[in-house]
Structure 1
Amino acid sequence: MKRDKFAKVIGVLAVLVILGGVAGAAWHAKVRATEQPQEVEAEPGVESAAYTLAKGDYSNLTYDNISVDRPVYDRYTLKQRLAKGLPTMLPVLPHYTAEKVAYLTFDDGPDDVNTPAILDVLKAKGVHATFYVLGGMVEKNPAVLKRIFTEGHAIGNHSYDHDYERLYANKESFVEEMEQTDEAVFKVIGMRPFIIRAPGGTVGMFADDYYKHLNLLGYVEHDWNVLTEDATPEHPSAEQQIDYIDRRAAGQLKDNMALVLMHCNGGKEETVRALPGIIDNLKAKGYRFGVVTPITPQPW
């Protein structure tokens, strides 16, 4: 009997030792797991020296990290930011006013005739520009948008289809159009622009609450202070457009900047012809060329 009891005790102790070993191994494994650095989910988007791609927390959007030579994009759409609980409002950034900069901007594209012709001129001149695109045109001409992007120009949002009645019904309707174009651009280049331009400009179009609403959502709007008038009914010739820019850029412009409005859609063949002369005249006046970014001042 004593032997049986002794054997049972030994058996119980053996089981306890085994269980203790298993529990100990599990505890040590848990400790080792907590000591290992947790894998951080990689953020989407392709990094490149050709542009600045905002991090999810915007931590890399600083004045020193943004250049007038390099576009700035977001790796997330606004909907993605909201779904992930990421910030939407950009950090406060000083404006760049250190030198004379000409920002050539083209609205209402991309089309498949004049936009490529303008890109050819810019490439030949070694100049980068900013293209404020319509979402509907992006869907029609994605290859042209891709070329704008790959050649280092900045892409901005100019609404989906220039429908003033829908755009300016209220601030929510305006943002809906911006988001629609964001999605179209994102499908082509895998990122979205922060910069926007209100069709017709903001003066007389924006109610007081528009700017605050757009600011909260990370949109940065820019109008213009120099224009070729190529969208007016007069359809000025190339020579007239060159003269307009020459005279308007001759004086002292706010913040050392010439933010030039042109168009790159159908019927703008004279703009294509004028562009080499416009570039040459601005260079002669001491301007360098840059692309619009969140640190570009509003021109008025």
Structure 2
Amino acid sequence: MDKKVWRIAVLILLIIVFAGVAGYTSWQRAGIRSAASGGNEGGAALQQDEPGPESDAYILSRGDYSNLAVELTDVSRPVYDRYTLSQRREKGLPTVLPPLAVYDKEKVAYLTFDDGPDHKNTPAILDILKNNGIHATFYVTGQMCEKNPDILRRIFQEGHAIGNHSYDHDYKKLYQSKDHFMAELEQTDEVIFRLIGVRPFIVRAPGGTAGMFSADFYPALTEAGYVEHDWNVSSEDATPKRPDAAQQIRFVDQMTNGKNTALVLMHCCGGKEQTVKALQGIIDLLRAKGYRFGVVTPITPHP
């Protein structure tokens, strides 16, 4: 009788141990998925063996970039990398993008918003975009992402494109040399990856490249797998003119004349309430002029 009781006790113990191991494994996997989707409020980094969440809302590059030439055909889908630049270097993966055919087949407007994410104006802009069924491009700074991580996650989760806009937008530091510039991009890259589990390919230089870049900046960007886009249309919301909403709409109207590709520069940071007020009018204007809306990707035409 004692031997029978002992066997039953051992069997029960084995069942408990097995259930505990299975439960821990499930919990661990769930934790990895949560970090990848931004569910971890502390911004925990992804596990190295699961770099980046999969989604139909965007294109996620393979380690060898082999899927990009095939999948980069929809101007409404952002594209991100599975790996940070430092991970690619550590793993011996390519960092230079393959030759990609530029998309310029139709009339497309790319609404772009710099200097966020802001806690007030960025959500207001996101609401307007959502009401219109439009995806836009947000060039974010690392510093603002750290201040407003939930807004960055919302941008990502609602299907907008995210681009790298340096860490703190400080021209004096940023443009000392291409090494300073690249260091800030990589710093912001790590911030974005920590918060949403992917890194962007697209970059916008604060103030634009004209007058800021020397010749050595461009190859440095290429070698790091980044693609820079300036703009060819602006609402002028960051100029000393301080235009009101009606003036911003007029500026966009004038600058889009005769253009098939319109990369529209606006800002979503503090003090841009007039941009928020102008946005619906700008959307209505561009639709009336026959534009469809897209997000910036590595194959977006350069202005």
Q: Same fold (TM over 0.5)?
A: yes
* Aligned: 1:89 with 2:96: yes
What does 1:1-300 align with in structure 2 at a 5 Å threshold? 44-250=51-257, 252-253=258-259, 256-299=260-303
User: Which amino acid in structure 1 is aligned with residue 100 of structure 2?
Assistant: L
Tell me how far 1:63 sits from its aligned partner. Answer: 4.9
- Structure 2 gaps, min length 5: 1-47
Q: Distance in 2 between matches of 1:124 and 1:44?
A: 32
Q: Distance in 2 between matches of 1:152 and 1:56?
A: 22
Larger radius of gyration: 1
CA contact (8 A) 1:134 1:158 kept: yes
Q: Distance in 2 between matches of 1:202 and 1:235?
A: 22
Tell me how far 1:66 sits from its aligned partner. Answer: 3.8
Instruction: Look up the SS of the partner of 2:192 in the other structure.
Output: helix
Deviation string 1:199-248 (CA, Å, 9 cap, x unpaired) is 01001111111111110110000000000110112210000001111111
Instruction: Look up the SS of the partner of 2:279 in the other structure.
Output: helix
Q: Distance in 2 between matches of 1:237 and 1:90?
A: 40
How many residues matched? 256
Larger displacement relative to structure 2 (257-266 or 43-52): 43-52
Instruction: Look up the SS of the partner of 1:88 in the other structure.
Output: coil
Q: Distance in 2 between matches of 1:276 and 1:236?
A: 16
Tell me how far 1:43 sits from its aligned partner. Answer: 5.0
Instruction: Look up the SS of the partner of 1:108 in the other structure.
Output: strand
- Structure 1 gaps, min length 5: 1-40
Q: Distance in 2 between matches of 1:154 and 1:166?
A: 26
Q: Percent identity?
A: 68
Tell me how far 1:61 sits from its aligned partner. Answer: 1.0
Q: Distance in 2 between matches of 1:43 and 1:131?
A: 25
Distance 1:181 1:42, change over 3 A: closer
Q: Distance in 2 between matches of 1:147 and 1:243?
A: 30
Q: Which residue of the partner structure matches residue 28 of structure 1?
A: none
Length-normalised TM-score, structure 1: 0.83
Distance 1:162 1:42, change over 3 A: closer
Q: Distance in 1 between matches of 2:262 and 2:55?
A: 28
Deviation string 1:52-83 (CA, Å, 9 cap, x unpaired) is 00111111110554421100001110001001
Distance 1:247 1:163, change over 3 A: same
Q: Distance in 2 between matches of 1:283 and 1:211?
A: 34
User: Which amino acid in structure 2 is aligned with residue 160 of structure 1?
Assistant: Y
CA contact (8 A) 1:63 1:94 kept: no
Instruction: Look up the SS of the partner of 1:208 in the other structure.
Output: coil
Give the CA RMSD over aligned residues: 1.1
Q: Distance in 2 between matches of 1:233 and 1:116?
A: 25
